Amino acid sequence: MRWRSALAVSFSAVILAAACAQSGTTTTSAAPAATSAAPSGPTALFKRGDGGQLNILYWQAPTILNPHQATGTKDSDASRLVIEPLASWGPDAKPVANGLAATIPTVANGGVSADFKTVTWTLKPGLKWSDGTPVTADDVVFTFQQIADPATASTTNDNTVGAKIAAKDASTVVVTYDSPNPNFYQWGVGTCCGILQKAQFAAFAGAKFKDAPGNLKPIGTGPYTVTDFKPGDVVTYAANPNFRDPNKPFFKTVQFKGGGDAESSARAVFQTGAVDYAWNLQVAANILQPMIASSTTGKMLSVYGSSVERILLNFADPNAAGDARGEPTTKHPFFNGPDGLTVRKALAMATDRSTVAKQLYGDGLTGKPGCNIITGVPDFESTATTSFCSTFDPVAAGKLLDDAGWKLGSDNVRAKGGIKLKILYQTTVNAVRQATQAIMKTNWEKAGFSVELKSVPAATFFTNTSPDGANHFWSDVEMFTNNSDPDPTSYLNGWTTAQIAQKSNNWQTGNYNRYSDPTFDGLIDQLRKETDPAKRADLIKKANDNLILNVVIIPIVTRTQVTSGISKTIKGDTPTGWDSEMYNIQDWYK
């Protein structure tokens, strides 16, 4: 398998090189260019429209094609075939210029000012929208302003906070941050920042944004145009005749279908070859492995990013009476009591992450044992948690508790001072998660905890209005997955005191644990201002260690960001764990 992907990587490198060489020299015409003028530069591997139809299958169907109104990955991925940002996040968590920008601005090349306050983006020359009109800096400025305008209720708004934009000339924009921003790619790179055509959306600026027909049939710069869109069902695309590279894309049409479940998507790509790309195969390893091993049609893409399946521990009391339930004014009876750290450590010691990773996630196929909450970027990977993480010993955990005075009762549950170690453990309805719960329960009960399992449908788990939800956290521990951008500042912010979710803010903020530690808050404050990369890395690792060694969260499995099946015949795909899976679809060919 590995040599195939190496081959794929080298092929795509050749293509990328070829594309970069050609983009400045070809002329595009309005007529459909199925066979365009011969490229000057290295010979292309293929020409536009050489291929037939590409079939993509997602088990959630796209419902809107405007990435700024997207409600999930399905929407941002489906729109990425048409709407592109200035640049994308590559597999190494660094930006790559396969979008509208000619090069990636850095401090070294002068694109980023020394005080980290201004970033200058220059567009590639000769860029056209799919309707033939030229792309200008006005389109970029317009897009930014719409996203930043609260009246449009854009879901990508957060990346515009603290930033402003201005057009320097027809093909250059300058993004200015209010204060020095070490995360200077905050706006412009990735799914947050697809550029819309001003002409198409101008009449729908502000509050009318959601009514724009461009939401369902956008005009973009990407390799494909939308021929037909049935929201919640299927999108049909055709190759964009005005795409900047005349030899791309390879496929004449694309069909992007949604619906069903992950297991049958896996069957479609591995067992029948009915589709070329099957997204997010969150399937138990013992179903996936035999399918992959015996498949003649498909192979598995397992690429790691920052996704971690983790268990959160509650620092507030989920059983407090009345309005105080789960409020930060209360303290959890045993996780936040006088020997709270001991109890939390015991729970972590009795957590068998390697069995979960091996049996359920295929020992690397879809996940590997996770020790850190910040992971995926080598510079930020802490090593201080390794030994803590590799200790799995429920008996020693029991002893730790015993020594602290938590004695086993007649019901085999440890208790001290009338408080029993009874845990309610909630997560979403999902076969792999339920199996994980079963494994955790067996081991935790060996250490003397008593565990009650609860599973909640995803739609009522991830909402701040539901008492069964992750935000309310009216249980003792809960489990789910989350991931972060290459720069983890806003992610880590989610554990600061200011972000504690409680009744007064309608449980909308991100600190579900109700964790409050001045040391941690201090680290994050520093992180927001620190511009030296080495010092930043150090702060990030310290923040990670604080959360892990204080057992605020117990990471179980680092999951693959890209867990998709792809046809063995497709080349040119170099998946990234930091951006959309469709980020380089213009390079795919057979």
Partner 1 sequence: MGRYILRRLLIAIPTIIVISFVVYAILALAPTDPLSAFGADPRVPPEVRANIRHQLGLDDPWPVRYVKWVSSLAEGDFGISFMSHSSVMDLIKQRLPNTLAVVGVAYVIGVLLAIPIGMISAVRRYSVFDHVATTFAFVGFSVPTFFTGILLIIVFAINLRWFPFIYDSTLVIDDVPSFLQQVKQSIMPITVLALFDTATIARYTRAEMLEHLPLDYVRTARSKGLKEQVVVLRHVLRNSLIPVVTLVALGVPTVFGGAIVTEQIFRVPGIGELLVTAIGNGDTPVVTAILLIFAVLVVLFNLIADVMYAVLDPRIKYA
Partner 2 sequence: MAAPAAELTKGGVLAAKFTRPPRSLWTDAWWQFRRHRLAMVALGVLGALVVFTLVGPLVYHTPIDTIDFLQSLKGPSADHLLGTDDLGRDLLARVMFGGRISIAVGITAVLLAITLGTTIGALAGFFSRLDNPLMRVTDLFLSLPGLPLLLVIIYLFRDSLRATFGPELGIFIMIVGVIGILGWMPVARLVRAQFLSLKQKEFVEAARSIGARDRRIIVRHILPNVLSPVLVAATIGVGGAILTESTLSFLGLGFPPDVPTWGRILFDARNYLDIAPHWAIFPGLAIFLTVLSINFIGDGLRDALDPRKTN
Residues contributing to the site for partner 1 (CB under 8 A): 57, 61, 63-64, 69, 71-72, 150, 153-155, 157-159, 192, 207, 210-211, 215-216, 228, 230-234, 236, 255, 257, 259-261, 264, 267-268, 271-272, 274-275, 457-471, 480, 482, 484-485, 490-491, 493-494, 505-506, 508-510, 512
Among partner 1, partner 2, none, partner that 399 touches (CB below 5 to 8 angstroms by kind): none
Binding mask 277-296 for partner 2 (x = CB under 8 A): ------xx-xx--x------
**Which residue number, 35 or 465, has a Cβ lying nearer to partner 1?**
465
Among partner 2, partner 1, none, partner that 259 touches (CB below 5 to 8 angstroms by kind): partner 1
**Which residue number, 476 or 485, has a Cβ lying nearer to partner 2?**
476
The residue to which tokens 């449908």 are assigned = 457
Q: Does 467 bind partner 2 (CB under 8 A)?
A: yes
Among partner 1, partner 2, none, partner that 159 touches (CB below 5 to 8 angstroms by kind): partner 1
* Nearest one of 264, 276, 341 to 51, comparing CA atoms: 276
* Nearest one of 577, 506, 21 to 302, comparing CA atoms: 577
Among partner 1, partner 2, none, partner that 438 touches (CB below 5 to 8 angstroms by kind): partner 2
- CA–chain centroid gap for 250, Å, is 27
Q: Are 349 and 448 in contact (CB under 8 A)?
A: no
Q: Does 442 bind partner 2 (CB under 8 A)?
A: yes
**Which residue number, 374 or 401, has a Cβ lying nearer to partner 1?**
374
Tokens of 107: 């401090």
Give the nearest distance from C-beta 432 to partner 2 in angstroms: 10
Ramachandran category for residue 454: left, alpha or beta (phi over 0 → left; psi -120 to 50 → alpha) = beta
The residue to which tokens 């993509």 are assigned = 56
Q: Tell me which stretch binds partner 2 (CB under 8 A): 136-144, 313-321, 330-338, 435-443.
A: 435-443
* Nearest one of 470, 420, 471, 429 to 453, comparing CA atoms: 429
Helices 394-403 and 340-349, interaxial angle, to 10°? 160
Tokens of 215: 């939401």
**Which residue number, 326 or 469, has a Cβ lying nearer to partner 1?**
469
Which helix (DSSP H) or strand (DSSP E) does residue 547 occupy? Answer: helix 533-549
The only residue of 434, 506, 508, 519 in contact with partner 2, by rule CB under 8 A: 434
Q: Does 457 bind partner 2 (CB under 8 A)?
A: yes
Name residues whose C-beta falls within 8 Å of residue 372's C-beta, 6 or more positions apart in sequence.
308, 381, 382, 385, 544, 548, 555, 558
Q: Does 263 bind partner 2 (CB under 8 A)?
A: yes
**Which residue number, 213 or 467, has a Cβ lying nearer to partner 2?**
467
Q: Does 453 bind partner 2 (CB under 8 A)?
A: yes
**Which residue number, 426 or 560, has a Cβ lying nearer to partner 2?**
426
**Which residue number, 296 or 387, has a Cβ lying nearer to partner 2?**
296
Distance CA 239, CA 28 (A): 14
Give the nearest distance from C-beta 236 to partner 1 in angstroms: 6
Q: Are 277 and 590 in contact (CB under 8 A)?
A: no
Distance CA 60, CA 234 (A): 10
Instruction: Provide the residue type at 218 as one letter.
Output: P
Q: Does 272 bind partner 2 (CB under 8 A)?
A: no
Among partner 1, partner 2, none, partner that 491 touches (CB below 5 to 8 angstroms by kind): partner 1
Give the nearest distance from C-beta 17 to partner 1 in angstroms: 33
Among partner 1, partner 2, none, partner that 455 touches (CB below 5 to 8 angstroms by kind): partner 2
* Nearest one of 144, 140, 148 to 122, comparing CA atoms: 140
Size of the site for partner 2 (CB under 8 A): 28
**Which residue number, 285 or 551, has a Cβ lying nearer to partner 2?**
285
Among partner 2, partner 1, none, partner that 434 touches (CB below 5 to 8 angstroms by kind): partner 2
**Which residue number, 254 or 548, has a Cβ lying nearer to partner 1?**
254
Q: Are 172 and 138 in contact (CB under 8 A)?
A: no
**Which residue number, 294 or 410, has a Cβ lying nearer to partner 1?**
294
Distance CA 249, CA 408 (A): 66
Distance CA 141, CA 201 (A): 13
Which helix (DSSP H) or strand (DSSP E) does residue 236 occupy? Answer: strand 234-239
**Which residue number, 228 or 379, has a Cβ lying nearer to partner 1?**
228
**Which residue number, 253 or 463, has a Cβ lying nearer to partner 2?**
463
Strand partners, 374: none
Among partner 1, partner 2, none, partner that 287 touches (CB below 5 to 8 angstroms by kind): partner 2
> DSSP letter string over 140-177?
HHHHHHHHH-GGG--TTGGGGTTEEEEEEETTEEEEEE
Cβ-count burial of 246 within 10 angstroms (0-12 exposed, 13-18 middle, 19+ buried)? buried
Give the nearest distance from C-beta 65 to partner 2 in angstroms: 28
The only residue of 167, 341, 431, 537 in contact with partner 2, by rule CB under 8 A: 431
Among partner 2, partner 1, none, partner that 32 touches (CB below 5 to 8 angstroms by kind): none
The only residue of 428, 513, 516, 574 in contact with partner 2, by rule CB under 8 A: 428
Q: Does 274 bind partner 2 (CB under 8 A)?
A: no
Q: Does 320 bind partner 2 (CB under 8 A)?
A: no
Name residues whose C-beta falls within 8 Å of residue 296's C-beta, 6 or more positions apart in sequence.
273, 568
Tokens of 226: 């939308």
- CA–chain centroid gap for 27, Å, is 37
For 261, the 3-state DSSP assignment is: coil
Give the nearest distance from C-beta 139 to partner 2 in angstroms: 42
The distance between the two most distant Cα atoms of the chain, rounded to a whole number of Å, is 84
Q: Does 125 bind partner 2 (CB under 8 A)?
A: no
Distance CA 362, CA 382 (A): 24
Q: Does 158 bind partner 2 (CB under 8 A)?
A: no
Name residues whose C-beta falls within 8 Å of residue 487's C-beta, 6 or more positions apart in sequence.
182, 183, 185, 186
- Residues found near partner 2 in the complex (CB under 8 A): 263, 283-284, 286-287, 290, 355, 359, 428-429, 431, 434-435, 437-439, 441-442, 452-457, 460, 466-468
